[in-house]
Amino acid sequence: MSSPANPAPTIGVFDSGFGGLTVLRALIDRMPGARFAFIGDTARLPYGSKSRRTIARYAVESAQFLVREQGAEFLVIACNTASALALDAIQDAVPVPVLGVIEPGASAARAASRTGDVLVIATDATVQSHAYAEACRAQGMRALEKACPLLVPLVEEGWTSHPVTAEVIGIYLDELNTEAAAHNLHADTLVLGCTHYPLLRPLIERVIARVGPSGMQVIDSAEAAAEAAVRLFNGRVAPTATGTAQPTEIRCFATDSVEKFERLGSRFLGRPVGHVELVDLGG
Ligand code: DGL
């Protein structure tokens, strides 16, 4: 929905919580002057340990809120778990184009990998769905996925450079490397398949330098999704592309404590989130 102040259509961005602000941040960097409505379903977070049926129900409610109540004309599903398990359900439920993060992540891996073998770290639900493995296979690659359930709470605790977090990452990557060797994979690319992991990227890169394999490239699915969104939406949503300079507009909604969202969200957005509005999507 455009407004007299800003003629650009609204891009709706959805996540299970505030981790998806990493995707919003990447979108803002690439689409200055666009209008964004972001909802974090913080009341029902985490999605990463829930079933497909529950994730789809929750995600559809948020998507419908963005389209019906905020007039979003495009949706970006920032949540890897919702993209992996509920993209079809969301696309069926709303009459606007919907972009998830899995395909862009796989495409970025395809562009980066020389061996065609990639590693993916993500939530338990994303890994169980094998959405990344399938997306990689469709692009001619082999992918090995690993659930890293301890990383989301560590990031939310703010322990993004803590030695305990480095230790945990080291254990996960060691296990992944052992498994990759057992499968005779020559992986040269690691996909960060969760909204929270971009905040761990410097630490992950330091750990890779220690445990190997050397030369491993790290793909941030938030950046990859933002690139794909620009390709899909540009011209229609980026006023800079049409020569008009509008201020970027951002409205943030959360389904639970707006104070916590405002406090923690700025870490993910890289700037103050500002005023967050509470919204009730039901149980
Ligand atoms: N947003 C989720 C994802 O990207 C991580 C947090 C959660 O489990 O809800 O997979």
Q: Distance from the CA of 246 to the center of ligand 1, in angstroms?
A: 32
| Pocket of ligand 1 contains residue 105 by CB under 6 Å | no
Co-location of 141 and 209 in the same domain: yes
Task: Using the atom order of ligand 1, give the atom closest to the CA of residue 101.
Answer: 4
- Pair 252, 193 in one domain: no
Give the pLDDT band (50/70/90) at residue 233. confident
Asked if residue 121 has its Cβ within 6 Å of ligand 1, the reply is no
**End-of-domain residue from the set 222, 244, 262:** 222
Q: Whose CA is nearest to atom 7 of ligand 1?
A: 46
How many CA atoms lie within 13 Å of 55's alpha carbon, on the beta-carbon side?
A: 27
Q: Is the CB of 197 under 6 A from ligand 1?
A: no
| Residue 227 located in a structural domain | no
User: In this model, does residue 94 exceed pLDDT 60?
Assistant: yes
- What average pLDDT score do residues 12-35 get? 93
Same-domain pairing of 153 and 205 = yes
Q: Are residues 187 and 249 in the same domain?
A: no
Which residues are 121's β-sheet partners? Answer: 146, 192
Distance 16 CA to ligand 1 centre (A): 6
- CA–CA dist 226, 20 (Å, integer): 11
Question: For atom 2 of ligand 1, which residue has the closest CA?
Answer: 79
* Rounded mean pLDDT, 226-230: 94
Both 20 and 130 in a single domain?
Answer: no
In a domain, 251, yes or no: yes
- Look at residue 4 and tell me if it is in a domain: no
Q: Are residues 208 and 134 in the same domain?
A: yes
- What pLDDT is stored for residue 53 in this prediction? 97
**Does residue 83 sit within a domain?**
yes
Same domain, 33 and 61: yes
pLDDT digits (tens, 9 = 90+) for 133-178: 999 999 999 999 999 999 999 998 899 999 999 999 999 999 999 9
Quote the number of domains for the chain: 2
Q: Which range of residues forms the domain containing residue 147?
A: 102-222
Q: Is the CB of 194 under 6 A from ligand 1?
A: yes
- Looking at 178, 200, 222, which one is the last position of a domain? 222
Is the confidence at residue 243, as pLDDT, over 70?
no
Mean pLDDT throughout 223-249?
73
Q: Residue 241's pLDDT is what?
A: 45
Which residue in this structure is represented by tokens 């939310």?
156
Q: Which residues are catalytic?
A: 79, 194
Give the atom of ligand 1 at the shortest distance from the alpha carbon of 15.
Answer: 1
Rounded (10°) angle between helices 258-269 and 21-30: 50
| Same domain, residue pair 147 and 197 | yes
Asked if residue 116 and residue 32 are part of one domain, the reply reads no
The answer on pLDDT for 246 being more than 80 is no
Q: What is the C-alpha to C-alpha distance for residues 141 and 241, in angstroms, rounded to an integer?
A: 34
Burial code of 75-105, b = ≥16 C-beta within 10 A, e = fewer?
bbbbbbbbbbbbbebbbebbebebbbbbbbb
Give the pLDDT of residue 41. Answer: 97
Give domain status of residue 189, yes or no. yes
Residues 107 and 174 in one domain: yes
**Ligand 1 atom with least separation from CA of 19:** 1
Q: Read off the pLDDT of residues 102-131 as tens digits, 9 standing for 90 and up.
A: 999 999 999 999 999 999 999 999 999 999
Q: Are residues 106 and 218 in the same domain?
A: yes
Residue 148 in contact with residue 122, Cβ under 8 Å?
Answer: yes
Residue 261 near ligand 1, beta carbon < 6 Å:
no
pLDDT of residue 195: 95
Looking at residue 67, its pLDDT comes to 98
Q: Would you say residue 208 lies in a domain?
A: yes
pLDDT at 213 (0 to 100):
81
- Does the C-beta of 15 come closer than 6 Å to ligand 1? yes
Q: Which of 222, 241, 268 is the last residue of a domain?
A: 222
Instruction: Decide whether any atom of ligand 1 lies within 6 Å of the 19 Cβ.
Output: yes
Q: Please compute, for residue 283, the number of CA atoms within 13 A of its CA located in the half-sphere on the CB side.
A: 0
Using most ligand atoms within 8 A of CB, pick from 194, 255, 268 the residue to mutate for ligand 1. 194
Residue 283 lies in a domain: no
The number of the ligand 1 atom at minimal distance from the alpha carbon of 81 is: 10
> So what's the pLDDT on residue 124?
96
pLDDT tier, 275 (very low <50, low <70, confident <90, very high otherwise): very high
| 70 plus 180 within the same structural domain | no
Does 45 fall in a domain? yes
Q: Return the CATH number at 58.
A: 3.40.50.1860
Question: Quick one: pLDDT at residue 267?
Answer: 87
Residue 190 CA, ligand 1 centroid: distance in Å: 18
